[in-house]
Amino acid sequence: MAKAPVLTPQAEDFPRWYQDVINKAGLADNGPVRGTMVIRPYGYGLWERMQREMDARIKAAGADNAYFPLFIPQSYLTREAEHVEGFAPELAVVTHGGGKELEEPVVVRPTSETIVNEYFAKWVQSYRDLPLLINQWANVVRWEMRPRVFLRTSEFLWQEGHTAHATYEEARDYAARIHREVYADFMENVLAMDVVLGRKTARERFAGAVNTLTLEGMMGDGKALQMGTSHELGQNFAKAFDTRYLSKDGGRELVWQTSWGTSTRMVGGLIMMHGDDHGLRIPPRLAPVQAVVLAIKGDDAVLAKVREVGDRLAAAGVRVKVDDRTDTPFGRRAVDWELKGVPLRVEIGPRDLESGTAMLVRRIAGGKEPVAADALAELCPRILEEDQALLLRLSRERREARTADVRTVEEAAEAAAGGWARIPWADLGPEGEARLAEQGVTVRCLVGEDGSVPGSDDAPGTVAVVARAY
Using CB under 8 A as the criterion, what x/- string covers residues 363-402 for binding a copy of itself?
Answer: ----------------------------------------
Which one, 139 or 355, has the nearer CB to a copy of itself? 139
Contact stretch for a copy of itself (CB under 8 A) within 67-75, 270-278, 290-298, 430-438: 67-75
Run of H or E including 442: strand 442-447
Of 357, 354, 336, 335, the residue nearest 346 (C-alpha): 357
Residues 302-361 that bind a copy of itself (CB under 8 A): 327-328
- DSSP for residue 126: B
Residue 155 found at the interface with a copy of itself (CB under 8 A): yes
- DSSP for residue 176: H
User: Identity (one letter) of the amino acid at 58?
Assistant: I
Measured distance CA(373)–CA(351) in Å, rounded: 12
Which position among 56, 60, 81, 93 is part of the footprint of a copy of itself (CB under 8 A)? 93
Neighbours of 212 (CB within 10 A): 25
Which one, 5 or 99, has the nearer CB to a copy of itself? 99
Task: Report CA-CA distances (Å) from 231 to 157, 208, 218, 346, 458.
Answer: 19, 9, 22, 45, 18
Contact stretch for a copy of itself (CB under 8 A) within 94-102, 159-167, 190-198, 446-454: 94-102
Measured distance CA(111)–CA(72) in Å, rounded: 10
Cα angle: 109, vertex 66, 182; to 5 degrees: 90
* 344 close to 379: Cβ distance less than 8 angstroms: no
Residue 151 found at the interface with a copy of itself (CB under 8 A): no
| Residue 54 CA neighbour count, 13 Å, CB half | 27
Residue 27 found at the interface with a copy of itself (CB under 8 A): no
CB of 352 to a copy of itself, least distance (A): 26
Question: How many residues line the site for a copy of itself (CB under 8 A)?
Answer: 57
Residue 111 found at the interface with a copy of itself (CB under 8 A): no
Which one, 145 or 372, has the nearer CB to a copy of itself? 145
Question: Which residues are at the interface with a copy of itself (CB under 8 A)?
Answer: 29, 31-33, 36-41, 44-45, 47-48, 64-73, 76, 88-99, 105-106, 108, 115, 118-119, 122, 128, 134, 138-139, 141, 143-145, 154-155, 157, 327-328
